[in-house]
Amino acid sequence: MPIIALTGGIASGKSTVSRRFAELGAHVISADELVRQSQRAGSSTLAAIEKRFGLGVIDSEGELDRSALGRIVFDDAIARADLESIVHPAVGAEFASQVARIVQSDPGAIIIYDIPLLVESNRVGDFAGVIVLTCDPKIRHERLVRLRGMSSEEAQSRIDAQASEHDRISVADWAVDTSESIDTTIAQTDAIWSELTASYRV
């Protein structure tokens, strides 16, 4: 039951590749989705976030205001470390729970864990293999501005805050270049899936 990490910088196409792996038969777990689940209204994690960062990070519906929280922690290493100390244990517990459920229902499962900050969190050694999505930073910048409505400065700061392409590539067992067409990205993903099934399924 291998767990393969899937990582890449912001706007590198992780959602597209994750969806394709799911279509091919992989069990895909999203770290971002685990974070959102852990921070849902009424959760102990959200209560701890509110206690640490104040009511300003909670919206009128009692949900986490991610933009407000992001503005607080983006340039503040201490605040970011405090947030991680609150969120990571809950995410780890939910990840383990999901893996256990998958294995129980499908002992031969191949699990793809979409984890954007794999390199930054020093978790490379936790997985059977690593798939890295590469993409020209200029293209990622353009995607952030065009598709997510960021200013040019915000887009660049988001890219600069993450690990470099070089650092990610250095830990890759497989790489997918998402700079070109979706069809090209899908073809590369399919080729990796063929390797995974040949290695891990009998």
Q: Which residue reads 């777990």 in tokens?
A: 29
Span 118-138, pLDDT tens digits: 998 889 999 999 999 999 999
Superfamily of domain 33-107, CATH level 4: P-loop containing nucleotide triphosphate hydrolases (3.40.50.300)
Write the burial class of residue 173 (CB in 10 Å: 0-12 exposed, 13-18 middle, 19+ buried). middle
**CA-based end-to-end distance of the chain:** 12
Sign of dihedral through CA atoms 138, 142, 144, 149? positive
> What pLDDT, on a 0 to 100 scale, did the predictor assign at position 5?
98
Distance CA 29, CA 22 (A): 10
User: Pick from 5, 90, 112, 102: which is nearest to 46 by CA?
Assistant: 90
CATH tag, 1-26+110-202: 3.40.50.300
Cβ distance 124 to 130 under 8 Å? yes
**pLDDT level of residue 175 (50, 70, 90 thresholds):** very high
Lowest mean pLDDT among 16-25, 47-56, 124-133, 158-167: 158-167
**pLDDT level of residue 71 (50, 70, 90 thresholds):** confident
Span 180-194, pLDDT tens digits: 999 999 999 999 999
DSSP conformational letter for 164: P
Span 78-120, pLDDT tens digits: 999 999 999 999 999 999 999 999 999 999 999 999 999 899 8
Q: How many CB atoms lie within 10 A of CB 198?
A: 9
Per the prediction, the chain carries an average pLDDT of 93
Question: Residues spanned by CATH 3.40.50.300 within the chain?
Answer: 1-26+110-202, 33-107
> What pLDDT, on a 0 to 100 scale, did the predictor assign at position 157?
87
Residue 201 has pLDDT above 90, yes or no: no
